[in-house]
Amino acid sequence: MEKKVAELLTRWLDNGLINKETYQEIVKFEENSEPNQKSKVARSITLIGGLFLLSGLLGTIPLLWMNLAYWAQLALLVATTYFLFYAASYSEKFEDGKFFIFKSTEKVSSFLFLVSNISFGASVTFTLNILQETGIIDLSEDVSYVVVSLFVLLYATYLFQRTKLIFQHAALFYCLCFFLGAIGNLIFPNIEPWAGGLFLIAIGSVWGINTYSTLLKPSWLGYFLSATTISIGTIILIEDLLGNDEIISILILIIGSVVYVWASIQLSEQVIFFIGGLGLVINLPRLITEILPDNVWPPLVLFLVGGVLVVVGLYLNSIRENLKTNK
């Protein structure tokens, strides 16, 4: 039984949440459900062998690639995608599917599904190129991006619905951004930077709302993708519209960072807290330097702000520990 589970059970028992009989039954169940050492060794050997096969395949492809006809190259890409998907599906049958002998929150199947997603996108791209060169279809480059991104997004959506794991969550997000970006570039080819910033803010906001509604899991990754995307979009928007007004730009970023810290407390989500805290650490000194340029006071003020930040950091760390306890 894992140490973390044992500690939780002990704490529940000590606080009267479970009785001793229930505690013993859970411990017995967990110990019986754990794979034995032979099972772990067999699983590890199998997975290591699969990784060697994959490495050999990836190492062979470049050597053969230039000597193959277009259709043979496409067949090789399709076969690689199928092999990765089959290997991922097979690894799901293992008892915990962890990254062979290493402890990890990510399953081998999740990683292989992610690589198959990339291989699938390459297969679709290569198919369109062959159809273009043979004259079967005639698509502009922008339309081709839309078609490829659509197929990749559909495949990523299927994989996320199947696994609900971190790699598929991230792949779904970036595939969606790729698809919406391709659509936007097709409809608005000469888009202004500020509009691109609004686009990122909109995607990040929608992702955050869907994470809050528990549609997207794990929540920490959903909030991380949401917060970072909104931050990047805000920076682009500010730089384009307020590029000459440095103080106003910094103030907006500081306000946004404070909102992140507040949201992290309300949502009990540490990742938002870290992003907001990083924003404050970066932008508060910038603001002081802008307000007091070429003066003896900036170093002293930065020193004082540093002391304040240390005190605030210690206080926020206590909040972070409370968030961690409440999770």
Question: Taking the chain (327 residues) in consecutive chunks of 10 residues, what is each chunk's mean pLDDT?
Answer: 69 81 78 55 62 68 70 84 85 56 58 90 90 84 92 95 90 95 89 90 95 89 94 92 84 92 87 89 81 65 70 69 59
Residue-level pLDDT at 285: 78
pLDDT tens across 106-130, in order? 577 888 899 899 999 999 998 998 8
Looking at residue 295, the DSSP 8-state letter turns out to be S
What is the Cα–Cα distance from 155 to 175, expressed in whole angstroms?
Answer: 9
Q: Which residues pair with 70 in a beta bridge?
A: none
Residue-level pLDDT at 146: 93
Query: In the numeric block, which tokens belong to residue 121?
Result: 């996108």
Measure Cα distances from 3 to 23, 38, 96, 294, 322 in Å: 15, 21, 16, 56, 21
3-state secondary structure of 228: helix
Residue-level pLDDT at 34: 54
Residue-level pLDDT at 169: 94
Q: According to the 3-state scheme, what is the secondary structure of 237-287?
A: HHHHHCCCCHHHHHHHHHHHHHHHHHHHHHHCCHHHHHHHHHHHHHHHHHH
Residue-level pLDDT at 102: 39
What average pLDDT does the chain have?
80
Q: Are 1 and 10 in contact (CB under 8 A)?
A: no
What is the Cα–Cα distance from 120 to 179, expressed in whole angstroms?
Answer: 15
Q: According to the 3-state scheme, what is the secondary structure of the chain?
A: CCHHHHHHHHHHHHCCCCCHHHHHHHHHHHHHHCCCHHHHHHHHHHHHHHHHHHHHHHHHHHHHHCCCCHHHHHHHHHHHHHHHHHHHHHHCCCCCCECCCCCCCCEHHHHHHHHHHHHHHHHHHHHHHHHHHCCCCCCCHHHHHHHHHHHHHHHHHHHHHHHCCHHHHHHHHHHHHHHHHHHHHHHCCCCCHHHHHHHHHHHHHHHHHHHHCCCCCCHHHHHHHHHHHHHHHHHHHHHHHCCCCHHHHHHHHHHHHHHHHHHHHHHCCHHHHHHHHHHHHHHHHHHHHHHCCCCCHHHHHHHHHHHHHHHHHHHHHHHHHHHHHHC
Tokens 């910033």 sit at which residue? 197
Tokens 């159809």 sit at which residue? 131
What is the Cα–Cα distance from 17 to 8, expressed in whole angstroms?
Answer: 11
Residue-level pLDDT at 17: 79
Residue-level pLDDT at 298: 61
Residue-level pLDDT at 321: 63
Residue-level pLDDT at 103: 45
Domain boundaries, the chain: 1-34, 37-190, 197-237, 242-327
